[in-house]
Chain A
């Protein structure tokens, strides 16, 4: 895609992106349910020789969990980030900046949360613009002037209006769980695997194969989840930067904010593997590493600033 035609300023250029986000969200939930059900089958076969029963149980649990992730994923992410909701009286300037941008984009006002951490960062979560949240660390809040704050918030609101939040929250919650299940499974193999094998030694060959497959699945699942997380979040940051400029018509605000954030090397303690992709800049790794790292969820910040300055 190239320069936005003037007529498609509000959402036009991003409609395809929004549609893709909704489709990917649905596909992610479907793949998640199938993956968990298949994992249940593998575990059941490898362990108790009750594959179908386990498939059913895991499938139902996965469906219920997906519903929880969809409707309460934002609350889970916020709880994991130890964020507290604030109201207008707590920080009128922050509130006003967000309200102004919501007017520019014709959006409802999201809930606003503050994370008590001196590392500068921010993220958005929720399932659609009507059910959305923006969160900012106290460190970033204190660092930025009004224009820069506006740029950062416009970036987060763009994640909201493009439905990035739906997909990213689902990924955070579902990927987080997949990793957890696999860890538990690996530990159960460690402790319980030997006992079972000695009991039914006659079918050892077939079972060994199943066991290997099961271990493979347990190892591969989080890697797949991780790769999925990557494949979807890099371009997304550029798009949200572009969307931010579309709201503020002032690229330098966000560019300066990114510059300030990137000069700070502090690590955000509350961020983890399941939530790192939600943040405006990667909260975990230092920046020089991030630029070269294959497993990076974010594009290099210098490149983002350069693009903003050329707008």
Chain B
């Protein structure tokens, strides 16, 4: 009788642990997916902003048609490309083309006085940052999730219910290296 009670109590604890762990893994996995979709939101925002910028500057920048053309083409390639690695490369191309365009804007005082151009430039700069921050956030979430499913004893639950590893977003050029954080 006593043995049965102890057994049932232990069983109940185990069941609650499995339920709790399962739910927390689901939550973490959804955070990873949500973080991924946030990257797309920002990429889309950049695609939407670029035609406006090109439209606003093209009359002033008659002699920079080549650069403008490169931006437009890079945008189109980035939209059309699929697959994480290829898309990453295309996005890098686009970032480079935009940087070049911004550098050229510096040579045109009329453009720098143009409120519309300046605010579009601010929006695009910010969107660039948002893209890299959303990637950083995605990788942070993946790291948290991956560590969780590897740790004992959560790994038993993860294995039983097929929680697999999520992939990191890798960028070739490392913009800012991860610093050490001292917590004392």
Which residues of A line the B interface, CB within 8 A?
1-4, 6-10, 12-13, 92-93, 96-97, 99-101, 103-106, 238-239, 242, 245-246, 249-251, 307, 310-311
Contacts and interface: CB of A to CB of B under 8 A. Distances in A.
Contact of B126 (A99, A249, A250): A99
A100 B42 CA distance: 10
B16 interface: no
Contacts of B125: 96
Contact of B183 (A93, A99, A103, A239): A239
Contact of A10 (B42, B144, B180): B144
Interface of B: 31, 35, 38, 42, 119, 122-123, 125-126, 129-130, 133-134, 136-137, 140-141, 143-144, 146-147, 176-184
A104 B133 contact: yes
A293 to B, nearest CB: 21
A311 B182 CA distance: 7
Which one of A3, A96, A103 has the greatest number of beta carbons of chain B within 10 Å?
A: A103
Contacts of A1: 183-184
Which one of B136, B147, B176, B179 has the greatest number of beta carbons of chain A within 10 Å?
A: B179
Contacts of B35: 106
11 contacts: A7-B146, A93-B126, A96-B126, A99-B126, A103-B42, A106-B31, A106-B35, A106-B141, A239-B183, A249-B176, A307-B182
B179 A2 contact: no
Nearest to B177: A249
Contacts of A7: 143-144, 146-147
Contact of B133 (A8, A93, A101): A101
Given A96-B122, A100-B133, A251 B144 contact: no
Contacts of B146: 7
Given A2-B182, A4-B181, A103 B133 contact: yes
A292 B144 CA distance: 40
B182 A9 contact: no
Contacts of B31: 106
Contacts of B137: 10, 103-106
Main secondary structure of the interface of A (DSSP, over half): helix
Given A100-B130, A106-B31, A92 B184 contact: no
B51 to A, nearest CB: 20
A311 B42 CA distance: 29
A133 to B, nearest CB: 21
Which one of B125, B144, B183 has the greatest number of beta carbons of chain A within 10 Å?
A: B183
B150 to A, nearest CB: 9
B126 A245 contact: no
A245 B181 contact: yes
A252 to B, nearest CB: 10
B176 A103 contact: no
Contacts of A93: 122, 126
A10 B183 CA distance: 14
A3 B181 CA distance: 5
Nearest to B128: A100
Across the A-B interface, give the 10 residue pairs with the lowest CB-CB distance, nearest first.
Answer: A96-B126, A7-B147, A104-B133, A1-B183, A10-B140, A311-B179, A4-B181, A249-B176, A100-B129, A103-B133
A241 B136 CA distance: 19
Contacts of A106: 31, 35, 137, 141
Contacts of B141: 10, 106
Contacts of B147: 7-8
Given A92-B123, A104-B137, A8 B180 contact: no
Contacts of B133: 100-101, 103-104
Contact of B181 (A99, A104, A242): A242
A13 B181 contact: yes
A260 B39 CA distance: 34
A92 B122 contact: yes
Nearest to A92: B122
Nearest to B39: A103
Contacts of A12: 144
A251 B123 contact: no
A92 B119 CA distance: 8
A103 B181 contact: no
A249 B147 CA distance: 21
A250 B147 CA distance: 25
